[in-house]
Amino acid sequence: MSPRLRLLILAVSVVLLAAIGTGFVLHDADRANRRTRARAGGPTVTAGTVSLTQPDRLFFVDMASGPYVNHVVSVPADDPGGTRTASGLSCERFYAGAGTGVCLQSVQGALTTGNRALVLDADLRTRRSYALAGIPSRARVSADGRFVSWTVFVGGESYGAAFFSTRTSILDTRTWTLIPNLETFSITLNGRRYHAADDNFWGVTFAGDDDTFYATLGTAGHTYLVRGSISRRSVTSLVENVECPSLSPDGTRIAFKRRVLPGSSLWRLTVLDLRTLRETPLAEQHSVDDQAEWLNNSTVAYALPTSGDVGSYDLWSVPANGTGTPRMLLPGAFSPAMG
Amino acid sequence: MYLAGRATPAAGAGVRTAVRMVSGTVLALGAVSLITDISSEMITAVLPLYLVVGLGLSPLSFGVLDGLYNGVAGLVQLLGGHLADRGRRHKLVAGLGYGLSALCRPLLLIAHTLTPLGAILALDRTGKGLRTSPRDALISLSSEPEHRGRAFGVHRAMDTAGAALGPITAFLILRQAANGYDAVFGVSGCVAALGVLVLLLFVPGRPPRPRPAAKAEAEAGAEAGAQPQPSVSLREAVNLLRLPRLRALTGCAMLLGLTTISDAFVYLLLQHRVGIADQWFPLLPLGTASVFLLLAVPVGALADRVGRRGVFLAGHGALLLGYALLLWAPAGTALPFVVLALHGTFYAATDGVLPAAVADVVPEALRGTGLALVGTGQALARFLCSLAFGAAWTAWGDGPALAGSAVGLLCCAVTAGVVLRPRPSPTTDH
């Protein structure tokens, strides 16, 4: 093959491949634009004032196509299908309690993705902003709004050039004391003091006493439910295979995701009674990878991926006692909070 | 795979003259690596985002898989090296490796769960394992022995430049199209196809005939089969281990690999010492990469002039100095810059210099196998080091673990210095 022919083949291929590549980018850019146009039959969303102190409202991140996709919205708790009121705030993950909100955001830069946590007042104005070490995963606020917690996925921190670890932080909004990493807490695992380089915490849920919290501890291939004390900077393991705990409003039970097979990414939504440590599988048969939210003492809500729409979620609800059937609470919605 | 996110400072004029002095094959292979690394680092950079944001997976279990894949890639590397030597089919085997990885990109478009994703990544690593030693063999076979250090330097600099451009390309695409992971995978596939095409069009099918000097050198080193044969049997490949000089190099590479803590740990230690803010943490590999990119060619040329052993050991000296600074230097603003510069210097003085040194002692017919042997040994040792370092960190804390590694590295470097000391004449190797 002559050098000229080779260069010709190369030039033609570069043009062809560049055209295909541009096609991919244009197609995805168009799809992203379509996400910001309202779809017929979708929920009605109007811009308005979202206040975290409004009573009996459900707050969440809107996932329905339209100009307010990814924005924090609210609906009346007793009419979830009603008109959604959209704020100007856009979040990957959101949670609120007693007039304090937390919003985990990702901002696309040229070299990396910038992630940050915004601590919000009742009118969703930013009180403080914290840079995050990784990709937003979970967020929680204590029922009285004093404590805020978030979990992110951090790349490149594990053994053997491996991929991921988590980092969980707790913030006291009264003193603005930040505990950047729960891994500095002393750990009692199965009754013994424990420390390992692969300790990972995620999915905090707060109790009502402004000190106790529950979270997941992952280490050496196992996951545990731990009960922690913020003042004593310590955690103690309770039971195994409990991830992303969520404490019921009355503080007696924990809804969590239970791994069905070791090593698999299949989870079953389950409720644990904290006094008897009895586990009740809920009626949801799909794998749930979310931190559930208690709508009241008898119902939990959680996100499932929208079928046929990668990247979107619907919120479902199911009775917390193992009976009944799951029912769609809100199509195109994510990250629910009862405010 | 390289760590995601590497910088791309402009190559200087001095580099350009050096580049002109390496063969077209080396430049073509460098271009293939540059293009392929853009493609693969695009994926590496967005995969965490894709898993968590795009697919909503919690990817903690991926760490275990990743370690497993690295082990597999090491063994596949041996296979690739040996297959390439059989009938001197370096380009074919390297092409298969590049092709296999390129094939994985469009597959990513249709994989939406963890299991197929894991399978695709395993396939990608297999491709990487297959191509590495045939490619390095081609570089060594198409370069004059006295310029091999520079040739490998040019290749590694181009490779690192690609690794730097990949994440930038990916994040630019994500800026154009929010959640445009399909676009990233699609463009990555196109770029990978271009890499394979450049290999097919511009890398000669067979490495140039051995020059008289190289032939003599090869025969001097060869225990089995004094004259070059068209095909190489497994037995001859195994006989390679009888070469004292290759055994010495493999042993030293493994010994030093056992005390070379992985990049991620270096960055973590740096963060622990200096308290680097979380948002800067992902940029630390950029520091190492830019120094590597700047120094790879001049240090490679230096290795050709003053001897590869000296530069290779000096590189480990730079790493040792980096460890020492991490242990004892006051935590000032300059510390991260100095440590990252030393870390990049370590890579510039070792990553291409070692294969250049291996090429000196392995006969041409077994070049791929010999390079694979050293590469696999080194990778295995580094993996063991990561596990041991993680365990030591857990048991004693980061300071003592690093001090232990530093003492180990010093002992290993001194041992390597003695084992690899120049012989009066190469023929006394027997």
Per CB-CB distance under 8 Å, the chain B contacts of A35 are 178
Q: What pLDDT sits at residue B12?
A: 46
Strand spans (E) along B167-239: none
pLDDT over 50 (residue B217) = no
Q: What pLDDT sits at residue B425?
A: 52
Q: What pLDDT sits at residue A251?
A: 96
CA distance A186 to chain B (A): 14
| Beta carbons within 8 Å of B189's beta carbon, 6+ residues apart | B39, B102, B105, B106, B109
CA distance B209 to chain A (A): 20
Which among A138, A199, A265 is the top mutation candidate for probing chain B, defined by the most B β-carbons within 10 Å of its own β-carbon? A265
8 Å CB contact of B180 and A25: yes
Q: What pLDDT sits at residue B3?
A: 34
Assigned token pair, A277 = 């440590």
- Across the interface, of B49, B58, B190, the residue whose CB is closest to A21 is B190
Q: What pLDDT sits at residue B147?
A: 93
Average pLDDT of span B61-82:
76
- Angle formed by the axes of helices B181-202 and B90-110, to 10°? 170
pLDDT over 90 (residue B31) = yes
Q: What pLDDT sits at residue B428?
A: 42
pLDDT over 70 (residue B367) = yes
Q: Checking DSSP bridges between strand A57-62 and strand A71-76, what pairing results, if any?
A: antiparallel
CA distance B33 to chain A (A): 16
| Beta carbons within 8 Å of B64's beta carbon, 6+ residues apart | A162, A221, A263
Return phi, psi of residue B295, to 5°: -95, -15
pLDDT 10s digits, B349-363:
999 999 999 999 999
Q: What pLDDT sits at residue B66?
A: 64
pLDDT over 70 (residue B324) = yes
Per CB-CB distance under 8 Å, the chain A contacts of B191 are 17, 21
B72 contacts chain A (CB < 8 A):
no
CA distance B6 to chain A (A): 9
Q: What pLDDT sits at residue B61?
A: 58
Residue count (chain B): 430
pLDDT over 70 (residue B221) = no
What is the distance between the alpha carbons of residues B359 and B169, in angstroms, rounded to a whole number?
Answer: 35
8 Å CB contact of A27 and B63: no
Which segment of A79-88, A169-178, B96-105, B168-177 scores lowest on mean pLDDT?
A: B168-177
**pLDDT band, residue B42 (cuts 50/70/90):** very high
Residue at B262: amino acid letter: S
Q: What pLDDT sits at residue B20?
A: 61
Average pLDDT, chain B: 84
Residue count (chain A): 339
- Do B255 and B316 touch, CB atoms closer than 8 A? no
Instruction: Please name which of B69, B289, B262, B284 lies closest in space to residue B159, comparing C-alpha atoms.
Output: B289
| Beta carbons within 8 Å of B132's beta carbon, 6+ residues apart | B77, B80, B97, B372, B375
**Between residues B319 and A197, the one the model is more confident about:** B319
- Across the interface, of A24, A111, A313, the residue whose CB is closest to B167 is A111
Which among A14, A15, A28, A187 is the top mutation candidate for probing chain B, defined by the most B β-carbons within 10 Å of its own β-carbon? A28
Assigned token pair, B358 = 């291996």
- Do B221 and B361 touch, CB atoms closer than 8 A? yes
8 Å CB contact of B172 and A132: no
- Across the interface, of A20, A134, A153, the residue whose CB is closest to B190 is A20
Intervals of chain A under pLDDT 70: 110, 155-164, 263
Q: What pLDDT sits at residue A312?
A: 86
B282 contacts chain A (CB < 8 A):
yes
8 Å CB contact of A197 and B194: no
pLDDT over 60 (residue B372) = yes
CA distance A57 to chain B (A): 26
The partner residues of A93 in beta bridges, in order of sequence, read: A104
Q: What pLDDT sits at residue A40?
A: 85
Which segment of A238-252, B43-57, B328-342 scores lowest on mean pLDDT?
A: B43-57
Q: Search chain B and give the residue with CA nearest A111.
A: B168
B219 contacts chain A (CB < 8 A):
no
Which among A7, A36, A159, A257 is the top mutation candidate for probing chain B, defined by the most B β-carbons within 10 Å of its own β-carbon? A159
Q: What pLDDT sits at residue B173?
A: 92
| Half-sphere exposure of residue B353: CA atoms within 13 angstroms, side-chain side | 30
Q: What pLDDT sits at residue A156?
A: 54
User: What is the helix (H) or strand (E) element at residue B212, kind and residue range?
Assistant: helix B212-221
Per CB-CB distance under 8 Å, the chain A contacts of B267 are 156
Per CB-CB distance under 8 Å, the chain A contacts of B54 are 310-311
What is the distance between the alpha carbons of residues A198 and A219, in angstroms, rounded to a whole number?
Answer: 6
Residue B383: C-alpha distances to residues A159, A208, B67, B202 (Å): 9, 46, 8, 35
The partner residues of A119 in beta bridges, in order of sequence, read: A102, A128
Per CB-CB distance under 8 Å, the chain A contacts of B283 are 111-112
CA distance B363 to chain A (A): 31
| Beta carbons within 8 Å of B146's beta carbon, 6+ residues apart | B304
**pLDDT band, residue B51 (cuts 50/70/90):** confident
| Beta carbons within 8 Å of B400's beta carbon, 6+ residues apart | B392
pLDDT 10s digits, B136-161:
999 999 999 999 999 999 999 999 99
B178 contacts chain A (CB < 8 A):
yes
B68 contacts chain A (CB < 8 A):
no
Q: What pLDDT sits at residue B207?
A: 60
- Across the interface, of A29, A111, A114, the residue whose CB is closest to B180 is A29
Residue at token pair 């379509």: A34
B167 contacts chain A (CB < 8 A):
yes
What is the distance between the alpha carbons of residues B245 and B226, in angstroms, rounded to a whole number?
Answer: 17
Q: What pLDDT sits at residue A57?
A: 93
Per CB-CB distance under 8 Å, the chain B contacts of A23 are 186
Q: What pLDDT sits at residue B227?
A: 46
pLDDT 10s digits, A154-190:
865 444 444 568 899 999 999 999 999 999 999 999 9
What is the distance between the alpha carbons of residues B292 and A88, in angstroms, rounded to a whole number?
Answer: 45
Which among A25, A71, A256 is the top mutation candidate for probing chain B, defined by the most B β-carbons within 10 Å of its own β-carbon? A25
